[in-house]
Amino acid sequence: MADRHIKSTDGLPLARGLVLPLDVATQKLAFIGRSGSGKTYGASKLVELMLLAGIQVIVLDGVGVWYGLRLGKAGFDLPIFGGLHGDVPLEPTGGELIADLVVDRGISVVLDVSMMRKGPRKQFATLFAEQFFQRKKARRSPVHIVIEESQMFVPQRPQQTERRGGISDGRMKGAFEDLTKIGRNFGIGHTLITQRPQAVDKDVLNQIEVLFAFQTNGVHEKKAICDWVTDKGLEVNLVEELPGLEIGQPWVWSPQWLRITKHIRINRKVTADTSSTPEHYDEVTEPVPLASADMKQLQQDMAATIERAKAEDPKALRVEVAKLKRELQQREQRQPEPVVEHVEVPVLSDAHVAQMLEASTALADAGDVALRIGKELLASLEKVRNNRAAPRKPTPRQPVAPPARPAKHVATGQGNGSTNLPKCERSVLSVLAQHPEGCSISKIALLAGYRVSGGFRNALGNLRNLGLIDGANTGTMVITDTGMGAGEFQALPAGAELISYWTSHTSFGRCEREILHYLVGTYPATANIDDLAAATGYRVSGGFRNSLGKLRTAGLLVGRNTGDMTVADDLAEHVS
């Protein structure tokens, strides 16, 4: 691609009358506009120019449209990770690996996270941003990051809670704040693309040096743009012109860096426009796969990071250790005691010995030939006499292993194999054995069939004193290795059996079962509280909300009553 590079003195002709200096690579830009206004088209035109100028570009694609950079005669030879058109699939655990790749090799890439669900997307994006920022501190060089639908990665109002084991919105936002606020010190520039500027963190948006405002109609969207313009001391009346702008013709404000306020028309792209809304007659074009020899190695590296994450997953390790300990204990219990059988070995009597001595003497008298035989016989008889006086050790017989005993199955809410523990304590151990990642006191009580009362807390204290569980009542409690070894516990089933297990669980009533049946049957669709009530034949009442709370406590439902709800990821994995 060296022959396609723009001369370093040419600048980047984004529009007629607007040639951006090459140091735009380390600047902070934003492309804002309603859906279909041309903002992604304009940003991708800028990326084309950067690639032609030899600038490293990383596109974090939350929509799945940036594969178009590979299409057409002028398409660029850059790898696409993830999405429907990727050369290599993206794994949630692979963020650090990709960050190392782009830093070490200095390549431009498209990271398509559009096919990931919210949790895995946050995990990948956060790990990537944290590792990339850390690595660039020691590898300072110009690089530009494009963040499509940036409100997903730097939200103004991050969710305050996150399912156990997941990455919070706050951590993700902090990682991208470091990139966008401090990254320029290490050569990192960025472009934010959004149709909802009011949902992007205000501190991050306020850092923007160049704002491209495309056609915008919404009241909240215009207010967010107006706030930025006002903060920079510019003419705010132009904001009222935004609803009437033509597609691809934004107002550009850059009061400090470029010192311009200009209405422009974005130049035509040289690659395919895959950001436009598809029509029914559009022909779907797939990018040509890369012929690079590195792609096979990249695929192997991504697979390795998955295995490494599994090997280092504390939850998976705890489950595996507990399984091995149970197997060892069962094997020791089945080991038979050695059986010793005394075997009587017949020996010569005194009378027999006397007779043989007489015969030996007669033979000795018979002559020289018999003398030799007699002496040998006498020597043998002496050995017999000596052996008779020595104590005999019993000869052990090899034990025969008894047939294996069938393992005991303990149902949820029932005790383990120990009869020394009361029923409540046994029920608690059974629940925690099925959830080695740990449970809150509310979840334990619900699944064990008890109320959170003084007696229930006493049972937890008893288990804690015996070293069978660990963790305070106010936090997360887990079963210890000693607790795992206290009995044989039934693991949670998988697949359709897991669905049946929960929909018939004794801790749930008819309302909870109906809700769970509906969410499983309509997955991956979500539903709000009104939809759930109508679909299950209930009213939106205090009792109905309590049923939702039970499912949420059990870890089977995610989402608030005021928003959309669906089945939790752990259960969704088993929905066919």
The pLDDT of residue 357 is above 70: no
Structure tokens at 399: 């034990």
Winning range, highest mean pLDDT, from 221-235, 277-291, 315-329: 221-235
Question: Which of 180, 123, 143 shows the shortest CA–CA distance to 55?
Answer: 143
Q: What is the pLDDT of residue 399?
A: 43
Q: Which residues lie across from 527 on neighbouring strands?
A: 565
Give SS3 for 148: strand
Decide yes or no: CATH 1.10.10.10 for domain 496-572: yes
Least confident of 231-245, 343-357, 419-433: 343-357
Q: Is the peptide bond before 399 cis (omega within 30 degrees of 0)?
A: no
Would you give the DSSP letter of residue 554? T
Task: Kindly state the helix (H) or strand (E) to which residue 320 belongs, with its residue range.
Answer: helix 314-334
- What is the mean pLDDT of the segment spanning 554-565? 91
Distance CA 38, CA 17 (A): 18
Q: Provide the pairing of β-strand 80-81 with 260-263.
A: unpaired
- Predicted confidence band of residue 122 (pLDDT cuts 50, 70, 90): very high
Q: What is the mean pLDDT of the chain?
A: 82
- What is the mean pLDDT of the segment spanning 400-405? 38
CA 36 to chain centre: 34
Count CA within 13 A, CB hemisphere, residue 54: 11
The residue that leads in pLDDT, 299 or 65, is 65
Burial (0-12, 13-18, 19+ Cβ within 10 Å), 296: exposed
Q: Where are the alpha helices (DSSP H) in 390-470?
A: 423-434, 441-448, 454-465
- What is the mean pLDDT of the segment spanning 346-371? 61
CB 301 within 8 A of CB 90: no
- Predicted confidence band of residue 20 (pLDDT cuts 50, 70, 90): very high
Question: Which of 83, 176, 161 shows the shortest CA–CA distance to 127?
Answer: 176
Q: What is the pLDDT of residue 8?
A: 47
CB 532 within 8 A of CB 514: no
The pLDDT of residue 362 is above 80: no
- Predicted confidence band of residue 280 (pLDDT cuts 50, 70, 90): very low
Structure tokens at 13: 């002709």
The residue that leads in pLDDT, 375 or 468, is 468
CB 94 within 8 A of CB 305: yes
Q: What is the pLDDT of residue 282?
A: 44
CB 182 within 8 A of CB 140: no
The residue that leads in pLDDT, 154 or 406, is 154
Q: What is the pLDDT of residue 312?
A: 58
Query: Hunting for tokens 């383990």 — which residue is that?
Result: 416
Q: What is the pLDDT of residue 572?
A: 83
Max Cα distance, the chain (Å): 146
Cβ contacts of 227-232, under 8 Å, gap ≥ 24: 227/202, 228/197, 228/253, 229/253, 231/206, 232/256
CB 402 within 8 A of CB 336: yes
- Could you count the other beta carbons within 10 Å of the beta carbon of residue 356? 16
Structural domain boundaries of the chain?
Answer: 2-158+166-274+292-312, 314-323+408-484, 496-572
Distance CA 275, CA 40 (A): 6
CA distances in angstroms from 332 to 80, 88, 140, 261, 340, listed in the order given:
53, 47, 60, 81, 20
Give SS3 for 15: strand
Q: What is the pLDDT of residue 114?
A: 94
Q: What is the pLDDT of residue 74?
A: 85
- Predicted confidence band of residue 396 (pLDDT cuts 50, 70, 90): very low
The pLDDT of residue 534 is above 80: yes
CB 22 within 8 A of CB 53: yes
CA dihedral over 272, 274, 279, 280, signed as positive or negative: positive
pLDDT per position as a tens digit, 186-222:
999 999 999 999 999 999 999 999 999 999 999 999 9
The pLDDT of residue 386 is above 90: no
The pLDDT of residue 461 is above 60: yes
Domains 2-158+166-274+292-312 and 496-572 share a fold: no
Cβ contacts of 432-435, under 8 Å, gap ≥ 24: 432/469, 432/477, 432/478, 432/479, 432/483, 433/322, 433/479, 433/483, 433/484, 433/489, 433/491, 434/489, 434/490, 434/491, 434/492, 435/555
Distance CA 28, CA 203 (A): 13
Least confident of 73-87, 328-342, 427-441: 328-342
Q: What is the pLDDT of residue 401?
A: 41
Q: What is the pLDDT of residue 412?
A: 38
pLDDT per position as a tens digit, 422-460:
999 999 999 999 998 899 999 999 999 999 999 999 999
pLDDT above 90 as % of the chain: 56
pLDDT above 70 as % of the chain: 72
Distance CA 348, CA 369 (A): 27
- Predicted confidence band of residue 525 (pLDDT cuts 50, 70, 90): confident
Q: What is the pLDDT of residue 485?
A: 86
Distance CA 187, CA 70 (A): 26
CB 180 within 8 A of CB 207: yes
Least confident of 243-247, 260-264, 483-487, 502-506: 483-487
- What is the mean pLDDT of the segment spanning 95-116? 94
Q: What is the pLDDT of residue 212?
A: 98
The pLDDT of residue 309 is above 70: no
Helical pair 423-434 and 454-465, crossing angle rounded to 10 deg: 70
Q: Provide the pairing of β-strand 210-213 with 28-32.
A: parallel
Q: What is the pLDDT of residue 373?
A: 58
pLDDT per position as a tens digit, 257-274:
999 999 999 999 999 888
The pLDDT of residue 283 is above 70: no
Superfamily assignment of 2-158+166-274+292-312 in CATH? Answer: P-loop containing nucleotide triphosphate hydrolases (3.40.50.300)
As a three-state string, the secondary structure of 214-245 is CCCCCHHHHHHHHHHHHHCCCCHHHHHHHHHC
Q: What is the pLDDT of residue 281?
A: 38
- What is the mean pLDDT of the segment spanning 117-136? 95
Would you give the DSSP letter of residue 276? S
Radius of gyration of the chain (CA): 38
Count CA within 13 A, CB hemisphere, residue 284: 5
Amino acid at 214: F
Winning range, highest mean pLDDT, from 149-158, 159-168, 295-304: 149-158
Decide yes or no: CATH 1.50.10.10 for domain 314-323+408-484: no
Structure tokens at 331: 């094997």
The pLDDT of residue 294 is above 90: no
- Predicted confidence band of residue 299 (pLDDT cuts 50, 70, 90): low
Q: How many residues are listed for the chain in this entry?
A: 576
